[in-house]
Amino acid sequence: MDWTTPLKAQQQDFCSRLNLGQLLVCQEKYLHSEVVFINEETIEKIKVESILESEEIANKYNLTYPLKEILEIVFYRKLGIEAFLSKFGHLTWLDNHKYYEDCEASLVNSYFILKQATNIKILVKTNQGDINNIQWSISQEEISNNRIIIFVICPKKFKVSLKEYSVVFLGFIPVELLSTKKEKTNINLSHLLYISGLNFYINDVLPLNYFLQKSAKFYIKKGNYKESISLYNKSISHNPNNSKNYFLRGICKYKLRDIQGALIDFSQAITLNDRDDLAYHWRGYLHQQLHNYSEALTNYNQEILINPLNYFAYFNRAITYTKLKQLIKAIEDYTMAIQINNSIFQGFFNRANIYYLLGDKESSIDDYIHVIKLQPNLVEAYYNLGIIYQEIGEFQQSLKSYRLAIKADSMYLKSYYNLAILQANLGLYQQSINTYQIILKINPNFTQAIHNQNSLSLLLQKEGNILLNKNVLYNARKNPEIIDVEKQSHQKNNSDRYSFDLSDSKQTNPY
């Protein structure tokens, strides 16, 4: 039997007695009670605090509705805080800094944290009015930021002459039991769990999940993904409705190269929480790695709908558009990514490559120059600049770029080879020979370099004119290709030449 079953049955009994006014009362601190009575002394203290706080809220947010109305709502909220701490203060602390983050929420919401696990947040909603007609609308933000939501009500309306107020605990609900498929989730009294189960949930259910998840994250940081998966399996068996468990287990499976298993977990996380932008991101990223570019695009589109200010969403969607040969859309996404964060050089680098493909060499040069400002030792940026300058006839800039590439990486043969060819084309034959000699010291088996060096040496000995023998240099007239940062390590297809991928560790922080 699920642990919620008896609490749902008790809640039905509570609802019946609530209508009859037959509630359980215990004034002893920290012991179960369905209703708490606030005495006159405490009420007077709360009145003073409410006056000060309502004025502060009105001034901070320039509110136009009557101060008396604000005062009453703040007063009810403070009654709720007092009642909650009288029964659960041994387990929780009031989280004061939450009050003024949002004006409307500040009026009715109180925030608490668990003493044993301060990362676990509790939201207490306090209302005043007719118990029979009350209904709540819970936002996605409230669900995302809290683990438990508790509902209390003050039946009596504020009057200066009243010496005692009652606060009724209507019930609680863990957020994993709420729907995450809507912007707002509407719930009523029958959806809640009986308040007596809150102690059990905090002391028994949450600690187990918290321990398992904390241990799993510890093993993730240690790189022991198999042990993390084992712990997430246990956590999921105990609480199958927590989307984060599936998401983090999916990360672990990806690290172990179980791509299909990771995709299944990310999909399950989305089924449980279709507002989980990270799950869409990683599912899109894996489809991208599998060359399922249409699927990747669908997931990135959904991620951007949820979180339109995520650099990596636009960056990865731009790569996907490039694979699909939709270069203008790729340019637009790289531009958006750069507007969000202009300190990551890969966005400029990839956009420069696409500008080059589209024939906009001036914009390509501008982006490569910006890359170098951000990443002064990126040899590929200097190398590609050298090629573009060579193509547009700015040979001195091209020579300079190749030399800067060599300075950035003295073992990068492509820079030496292009430099040697350009030197020969400019009539700098001895310099070209010297450059080939450096190449052959690094790689004595570089056939093209051996051939070109021998040909140049022979021509110089014969005092011939190299310009009269157009076929003597291997590749001397062939334009080199713009490269990406990975091409030096393995052969890639044409679409891969023009993208600079980010490692998965830089995609986002899932922890």
For 218-251, how does the pLDDT look when each residue is reduced to its tens digit (9 = 90+)? 888 999 999 999 999 988 887 787 888 999 999 9
Question: Higher confidence at residue 185 or residue 397?
Answer: 397
CA angle 426, 431, 434 (to 5 degrees): 140
Tens of pLDDT, residue by residue over 80-130, are 999 999 999 988 988 865 544 555 555 778 899 888 777 788 999 998 887
Above 70 in pLDDT, residue 201?
A: yes
Q: pLDDT confidence of 206, banded at 50, 70, 90?
A: low
Q: What is the pLDDT of residue 488?
A: 35
pLDDT tens-digit series, residues 368-407: 999 999 999 999 999 999 999 999 999 999 999 999 999 9
Strand pairing report for 165-174 and 121-128: unpaired
Which domains are assigned to the chain? Answer: 4-195 (no CATH), 379-484 (1.25.40.10)
CA distance 209 to 245: 10
Sequence-ordered list of residues with C-beta below 8 angstroms from that of 162, at least 6 positions apart, any chain: 43, 156
If you average pLDDT over residues 32-48, what whole number do you get?
92
User: Which residue, among 241, 143, 134, has the nearest Cα to 183 in the 3D structure?
Assistant: 143
Share of the chain above pLDDT 90, in %: 55
Residue 65 reports pLDDT greater than 70: no
CA 411 – CA 115 distance, rounded (Å):
57
Q: Does residue 482 register a pLDDT over 70?
A: no
- pLDDT (tens digit per residue) in 264-284: 999 999 998 888 999 999 999
Percent helix, strand, coil in the chain, to 5, is 60, 10, 30
pLDDT in tens, 149-160: 999 999 888 887
pLDDT exceeds 80 at position 506: no
* CA distances, 89 to each of 85, 93, 113, 115, 419 (Å): 4, 7, 10, 9, 74
Q: What would the 3-class secondary structure string for 136-189 be? A: EEEEHHHHHHCCEEEEEEECCCCCCCCCCEEEEEEEEEEHHHCCCCCCEEEECH
Mean pLDDT computed over 347-351: 96
Stretch 452-479: mean pLDDT: 60
Quote the CA–CA distance of 453 and 39 in Å, as a whole number: 98
Q: Give the CA dihedral 407, 408, 410, 411, nearest 10 degrees.
A: -160
Our measurement of the distance from residue 141's CA atom to the centroid of its chain's CA atoms, rounded to an integer in Å, reads 15
Give percent of the chain with pLDDT exceeding 70: 85
State residue 192's pLDDT score.
Answer: 94
8 A C-beta contact, residue 328 and residue 361:
no
User: Cα–Cα distance between 140 and 186 in angstroms, integer?
Assistant: 11
Other Cβ atoms closer than 10 A to 188: 13
- What was the pLDDT predicted at 296? 97
Residue 467 has pLDDT above 70, yes or no: no
pLDDT at site 501: 57
For residue 244, CA distances in Å to 155, 248, 267, 500 come to 38, 6, 12, 30
Bridge pairing between strands 121-128 and 109-114 = antiparallel
Least confident stretch, 203-217, 310-324, 440-454, 490-504: 490-504
